[in-house]
Structure formats: structure tokens, C-alpha cells
Amino acid sequence: MSTINIAQQGEQAIARSRRSPLRAFEESRFFPLALLLPILFFFVALNVIPTIWMIGMSFYSYSLMSPAPPSFIAIDNYVKIYNDADLWSAFSRTFVFVVLAVGIETVLGVLLGFLFWGSSNMPGRRLALTLLFVPMVVTPVASGLFWRLIYEPTFGVANYFVQLLTGSKIDFLTNVNWAFGAVLFVDIWMWTPFMILMTLAALGSVPKAELEAAEVDRLSIWQRLWHVIWPHGKFILMLGVLLRTIDAYKTTDLVFLMTNGGPGNVTELIGLKLYRYAFASLNIGFSSALAVILLLIAISFTSIYLWVLNLRRYREGA
């Protein structure tokens, strides 16, 4: 086929399509809005309206347990939250959980990430990494149950080894001194692989040329870490830490399934607490106020996350 033929065909196609109303619509300024319409529908119907509704409800006294109709009480729910010692302790427990979980996962993840750095030629690498990364793609409900079987005091395998070593058994999930640590351990098991993944990504973002230059210049391992790896890798590592922080602060399913907040309330994290106010005591007004606070915390974390992301784009031009 000659070039002239193609050109003719193109012109014919243009002439045909110019006539179509669809074409006119595609070129109008409503077209981009039409493309956004479906996503905006979902976003408005399932996020914006519920959020506004929730903010509204947070100023009302409204419980499904009492026959009284909702009544406007301004900021009383927020005042109640401020004065609720129980909630403050749930917040501080969540804070401790997040700091310990993310801290330990980061340290372990970075160390193991460095260990896995040179593994690109390992035989069966794909299978090994699959095994390594499985904990983070198993639903917390299932992993909560797995660990209940392992921690189980009479026939659990953890206690079998504990008894071999110490001669006595530990009731991991019902003992006040152990339950928090036991849940924390499961979170670390689930999410250390994620920090390994982020460390590998961070190491992968260091330009090969700079690493080779460091090799040629015979920099010490600390000099390489500080002058070559850290300036490039810090962004992705930081994104990993932030994402983990956001996620650890959301932890609900895991404690719900493993301990349901007990024994007493030593594993009652803020997400579970909110769930209880909303669906066990059916206190809609109060739980909405609490939800608004959790929403604000989440949004501020997200802003920090995006700030780091943009910082990276700006620095790396990525």
C-alpha cells in the first residue's frame, strides 16, 4: 500500500468522523468532566455524603439504644471524648502499639532487606520471596486464627516449646502480662516482610553508577551507607514507615479476632474501641465524634505521606 493511499484513507476517516455528534462531544469542554463523572459519583455517594452525615451526627446526642430522638448538643460529644479516661488509655495503648510495631518492623525489615539485597541470582528466588511475603497478603482474620491455634495453651505448638524450655506453660492471649506482646508479635510477623520489601525498593532506587563509584573509591561500608545509599534510599524507606504507621494505627481485625480487646482491655486498640461504641453500644452520636477525630488523624498522616512523596519526586525527578 502506498503512502498516498494511507493519507487518503486518513482524510476520509477524518471527514467521516467530523460529522458524528460523538466526535463533537469528545472535543467539547464537557468531555473531561464526563470522564470524571463516574469516579465523582462513587466518591460523593460513598465518601463525601457519609462523611458530612458523620460530622453532622457528631453534634447530636443519638443512640439506637434509647427511644429519644436525636437532639442537638453542639460539641458535647467532643467534650465527653476529651474527658473519657478510657478512650485516652485506648489512644495511648494504640500509640505504644504503633511505635513498638513500626519500630521493630523497621529495624528488622532494614536488616533483612540488606541481607536480601544480593539475592538476585539466588536459585528459586521467586518462590522464596513468595513464602517470605505471604504473611502480609493473608487477611488479618486468618492470621489471627492461625496464631490462636499456635498460642493455644493446651495443644498449641508455641506452648509445647515454651514447656520444653521452661517447664511451665504461658497463656499467651488470656494472661494480662502477655496478651499485648503476643498480639504485637503477630503484627511484627505480618508486616516485617513489608519493610523488607520497602528496604529492597529503597536500595533499588540507588543508582548503580554511584554504587560502582563507591566500590572504585574503596569507601568504607559506613561511608557508603551515609553518602551513597541514604541520600537516595531515605525517601522510599520513609514512605514505608509512614504507610506502616497509618496501617498499624488502623489495626482492628487482628485484635478483634485474637483477643477481642481482652484480657480486661490490654489489647483494646482505638479502632476496636470505636467499633464497640458504634456497634455494641449503638451510640451513633458519640461514635461519630470519635470517628471524626480518627479521620482527622488519618488525613494528617496522609498529608505527611504525600509531602514525602512529592519531596522525592522533586529531588529525584522521578
Site for other proteins in 57-116 (CB under 8 A): 57, 112, 115-116
Out of 61, 77, 192, 259, point to the residue binding other proteins (CB under 8 A). 192
Q: List the interface residues with other proteins, window 22-41 (CB under 8 A).
A: 22-23, 26-27, 31-33, 35-36, 38-39
Q: Which residue among 107, 141, 176, 213 contacts other proteins (CB under 8 A)?
A: 141
Task: Give the whole-angstrom CA distance, residue 145 versus residue 133.
Answer: 18
- Tell me if residue 283 falls in helix, strand or coil: strand
Termini Cα distance of the chain = 42
Sign of CA dihedral 237, 238, 239, 242: positive
3-class DSSP string for 49-74 = HHHHHHHHHCCEECECCCCCCCEECC
For other proteins, which residue of 89, 174, 175, 252 counts as binding (CB under 8 A)?
A: 252
> Is 304 among the residues that bind other proteins (CB under 8 A)?
no
Residue with cell string 455524603: 49
Nearer to other proteins (CB atom), residue 107 or residue 298: 298
Let me know: does 82 contact 294? Beta carbons within 8 Å: no
CB of 177 to other proteins, least distance (A): 22
The correct pick among 87, 110, 179, 239 for binding other proteins (CB under 8 A) is 239
What is the smallest separation between the CB atom of 145 and other proteins, expressed in angstroms? 6
* Interaction of residue 131 with other proteins, rule CB under 8 A: yes
Q: Which of positions 272-301 make contact with other proteins (CB under 8 A)?
A: 272, 274-275, 278-279, 284, 287-288, 290-291, 294-295, 298-299, 301
Contacts of 147 (CB under 8 A, 6+ apart): 182, 186, 189, 258
Site for other proteins in 206-225 (CB under 8 A): none
* 311 touching other proteins, by CB under 8 A: no
> Element (H or E) spanning 194, and its range?
helix 179-204
**Whole-number minimum distance, CB 47 to other proteins, in Å?**
5
Asked if 253 is part of the footprint of other proteins (rule: CB under 8 A), the reply reads yes
C-alpha cell at 284: 451513633
- Alpha carbon distance 231, 124 (integer Å): 32
Interacting residues of 2 by C-beta distance below 8 A, sequence separation 6+: none
Tell which one of 302, 311, 315, 316 touches other proteins (CB under 8 A): 302
CB 305 within 8 A of CB 239: yes
Minimal distance, residue 264 CB to other proteins, in Å: 21
- Sign of the alpha-carbon dihedral angle for 195, 201, 205, 208: positive
Identity of the residue, 229 or 270, whose beta carbon is nearer to other proteins in the bound complex: 270
**Residue placing its CB nearer to other proteins in the complex, 52 or 176:** 52
Cα separation, 49 vs 41, whole angstroms: 11
Number of residues that bind other proteins (CB under 8 A): 107
Q: Is 155 in the site for other proteins (CB under 8 A)?
A: yes
User: Which residue among 75, 127, 176, 213 contacts other proteins (CB under 8 A)?
Assistant: 127
